[in-house]
Amino acid sequence: MVSDNRDAAIINIGAIVTGSLDRPRIDADAVYMSDGKIKAVGHRQAVGADSAHLVIDAAGATLAPGLIDSHCHVVLGDYTPRQKTVDFLESYVHGGITRVISPSEVHAPGRPKDPAGVKALALAAQRCFQFYQPGGMTVHGGSLILEPGLTEADFAELAAQGVWLAKAGFGAFDRPRDCGPMVRWAQRHGFVVMCHTGGASIPGSSAVTADDLLEMRPDVSGHVNGGPTAMSDEDTDRVIAQTDIALQIVQAGNLRSALRVTRRAAESGNLHRLLIASDTPTGTGVMPLGVLKSVVEISSLAPLAPETALAAATGNVGRVYRLEAGIIEPGRPADVMLLDAPLGSHDTDALHAISRGDIPAVAALFSAGELRFMVSRNTPPPTRPIRIARRAA
């Protein structure tokens, strides 16, 4: 279901989760969107919501930013070679994910490991998703795998071509930390560098410890809770206490470690560094609800306020990766979703359901200001009668 992208509004919103830790909720009941952007957030009459070509009546449901999966293993197109599944990204949209970020195309069959090959793979993936949006999803593809032989000129060349992501901890170095100079080159040329963290994940990978991270200093500790094998508690504590590296916890990792990282981050005033991602598709599988499930687990078990857990999968990700997405405010991309208590829930709204440990209903989703669906095929149905109140010819 797709609107004509002229303008759209959502009215009768029960709660708005902003995606920002500084102001996690705001007093408003309507959002107006046009030209792919959020134009106004406030009360129904003030934002002019009723004049929009498309008006959704939220019936008291909760509005939140679309989820951003910062560890989604894309390769080329909407196909995962690891699990031989097509259209998985379009299905992830039905899990509330409006945007994914590549942690490098390591699952490409016969993955090249020479400098020319890894450059070509990153550029091809970046170009593949430059205009291709499966299910309306924005895909930030093309992440350079740091391999021996790369030079600073290679980073400058790729940056000029639009590649801005890099992956450390996977190359054929004697020690993972030996790629440290490349991490500096990448950052100097505007790359955001993620580093594999913890034990080996697939053949060709290696274990990465706190000593490696402290020497490399990447921007993001990818699956800091293990992908799937976590570092020791002592190593995890060192990364939290001795660095400002973003702490990415994933569904495909160690749940105990994820909860521990969350608690340590909260205790030390470092929740702004916490990112929630899926690390799928992998051996763990194709998981359209991977990010949402982690949000629920972290909120209900850590425990963490549901709006804070949602921020770790939206606004925190946008800030670390220098994206405009992930925040509900005027001028930001109109990537938003309506959440509700799932049908049959003992709770009255999505946030209470998340705190209890229930997967909420994704009752409607917009990306780039276009309505992609009413009621997700991958979550339970909503409790509230959310409906299209107006659709102009």
- 28 falls within a domain: yes
* Helix (H/G/I), strand (E/B), else coil: 373: strand
Prediction pTM value: 0.96
Looking at the structure, do residues 118 and 186 belong to the same domain, yes or no?
A: yes
Q: Which of 294, 320, 346 is the endpoint of a domain?
A: 320
Identify the pLDDT of residue 199. 87
pLDDT in tens, 71-116: 999 999 999 999 999 999 999 999 999 999 999 999 999 999 999 9
**How many domains in the chain?**
2
> CATH number, domain at 293?
3.20.20.140
The helix (H) or strand (E) run that includes residue 216 is helix 210-216
Q: Mapped to the 3 state alphabet, what secondary structure does 166-231 carry?
A: EEECCCCCCCHHHHHHHHHHHHHCCCEEEEECECCCCCCCCCECHHHHHHHCCCEEECCCCCCCCC
pLDDT in tens, 268-289: 999 999 999 999 999 999 999 9
Looking at the structure, do residues 142 and 225 belong to the same domain, yes or no?
A: yes
Mean pLDDT value across the chain: 95
- 1 falls within a domain: no
Q: Which of 280, 301, 320 is the endpoint of a domain?
A: 320
**Residue 52, number of CB atoms within 10 A of its CB:** 25
- 52 falls within a domain: yes
Looking at the structure, do residues 51 and 200 belong to the same domain, yes or no?
A: no
Looking at the structure, do residues 331 and 363 belong to the same domain, yes or no?
A: yes
Give the structural domain span for 182.
67-320
- Residues 355 and 299 sit within 8 Å (Cβ to Cβ): yes
- 360 falls within a domain: yes
Looking at the structure, do residues 14 and 151 belong to the same domain, yes or no?
A: no
d(C-alpha 198, C-alpha 308), whole Å: 25
d(C-alpha 375, C-alpha 46), whole Å: 28
- Residues 195 and 216 sit within 8 Å (Cβ to Cβ): yes
Looking at the structure, do residues 72 and 36 belong to the same domain, yes or no?
A: no
Residue 193, both tokens:
């560098």
- Residues 229 and 203 sit within 8 Å (Cβ to Cβ): no
- 288 falls within a domain: yes
Bridge partner list, 364: 338, 374
Residues contacting 389, CB < 8 A, separation 6+: 11, 55, 56, 57
d(C-alpha 298, C-alpha 310), whole Å: 10
Q: Which of 320, 342, 376 is the endpoint of a domain?
A: 320
> CATH number, domain at 58?
2.30.40.10
- 315 falls within a domain: yes
Phi, psi of 316 (to 5 degrees): -60, -40
